[in-house]
Amino acid sequence: MPILRLALRSLWNRRVTATLTVAAIATSVALLLSVQMLRSAAREGFTQTLSGADLLVGARTGPLNLLLYSIFRIGDATTNVSWATYLKIAHHRDVDWTIPISLGDTHRGFRVLGTDGNYFLHYRFAGTQSLTFTAGGPFKTLYDAVLGSDVARTLHYRVGDEITLSHGLGAVSFAEHKDKPFKVVGILAKTGTPVDNTVHVSLAGISAMHIDWRSGIQATGKYRISAEEARSKDLTPDSITAFLVGMRSKVMTFTMQRAINDYREEPLLAVLPGVVLDQMWSLVGIADTSLMIVAAFVVLAGLLGMLTSILTSLNERRREMAVLRSVGARPHHVFTLLVTEAASLALIGILGGVCLTYLLLIGGRSVLAQKFGIYVPITVLSPYDVAILVGVLAAAVLMGFVPAAQAYRRTLSDGLQIRV
């Protein structure tokens, strides 16, 4: 205890240098913790781009390919799932709900997704987060459209605006559905998922757009069907791209998955979305590891600054050490004093870094959620975070051994001798 008190008093006498050292350590620790929390939130958000759905079903292909084109809107399906097959699975006694997904059209580079009302009721992301609206609401009539937040922000759309969808993929299309414009009736809140970059319309709306199209070409003359005439037609789709399945009992998930994969009437693939998302993260999650390494080097730089500060002050403190020796302090007392100073600086810096991290989190979490769709919960430090901080403290103590060893080797006469 006397050593700790002496170390704190010594730091107080050098409070300007000590404060700067603590500030450097606190800033580096805050950066390290912030990166760790952000990477954890980003990974959780990525792996929970889709939550709550037990199965993702599409035409037989690779699991990653199915996830990419149906959830991330990357690429396109080579074949579709027939509407009859979809209805058969959707009406199965073990199935609680389904969300149909129909892709293939775009609007100024953004993908168009055809679905039904279950999309807004059952789609979940980031655990239990449901889709919410910043303006308007779900589509109700045939030519209603709901925009993702990034679509509305990028194209400066508001509820009530009229939009024209394009046939096929691509930012620029020469085949547009100009005769059947849609009206924006809702804008979704930011989710940080592909939902933000999607234009949502009803399945009937998709059918209405293509009712007079054959082989990618719109009919002409008397064979063309107007927007009003389409309302009276049978707009039941022939097929859809994929669909999500929610089971009544999680126990039946694997049984249903096997049944769908063994379906004989057409080749299908059913996958567990969470498992495939984890596989995807193992491929694309290298960047967050790189950020963590950079943050670790920043902490190392802060600790090296502390070491430099203590080493620089040693020559100025040689007489102080000699006086301590002269009043009965032994070499190991001097050694312990300097190690305690290093540990104290690091500990205060770590505590300051934790406080700074939570202040930044409280102040910035709403911006992260609204602008980037990253939801960072305010919780106590995880065991992994605590282990990181203990490692930082241990590194500081080890670095404190360097100046402590130098002071330990100096003799009483060296400290009392006046050098010119």
pLDDT confidence of residue 412: 45
Quote the mean pLDDT of the chain.
82
pLDDT confidence of residue 411: 47
**Measuring CA to CA, which residue among 237, 217, 227, 201 is closest to residue 111?**
201
Last residue of a domain, one of 222, 242, 271: 271
Answer whether residue 313 is part of any domain.
yes
Same domain, 122 and 240: yes
Same domain, 23 and 120: no
Same domain, 252 and 328: no
Provide the CA 192 distance to its chain's centre, in angstroms. 7
User: Residue 274: what are its φ and ψ, rounded to 5°?
Assistant: -60, -40
Same domain, 130 and 84: yes
Same domain, 75 and 11: no
Last residue of a domain, one of 207, 236, 271: 271
Whether the per-residue pLDDT at 207 is higher than 80: the answer is: yes
pLDDT confidence of residue 388: 86
Distance CA 350, CA 23 (A): 10
For the residues 222-230, what does the mean pLDDT come to?
A: 80
pLDDT in tens, 269-289: 999 998 888 887 777 667 767
Same domain, 78 and 158: yes
Q: What is the extent of the structural domain holding 307?
A: 2-46+285-416
What lies within 8 Å, CB to CB, of 300 at 6+ separation is 395
- Residue holding tokens 């789609």? 123
Same domain, 168 and 313: no
Whether the per-residue pLDDT at 298 is higher than 60: the answer is: yes
Answer whether residue 277 is part of any domain.
no
Last residue of a domain, one of 271, 302, 337: 271
What is the band of 413 on the pLDDT scale with cuts at 50, 70, 90? very low
What is the band of 361 on the pLDDT scale with cuts at 50, 70, 90? confident
CB 82 within 8 A of CB 239: yes
Burial group, residue 32, by CB count within 10 angstroms (0-12, 13-18, 19+):
buried
Answer whether residue 276 is part of any domain.
no
Answer whether residue 279 is part of any domain.
no
Whether the per-residue pLDDT at 233 is higher than 60: the answer is: yes
Same domain, 29 and 122: no
pLDDT in tens, 252-269: 999 999 999 999 999 999
Same domain, 173 and 241: yes
What is the band of 40 on the pLDDT scale with cuts at 50, 70, 90? confident
Same domain, 108 and 252: yes
Total tally of structural domains belonging to the chain: 2
For the residues 204-213, what does the mean pLDDT come to?
A: 86
Which of 311-315, 362-366, 376-380 has the least mean pLDDT? 311-315
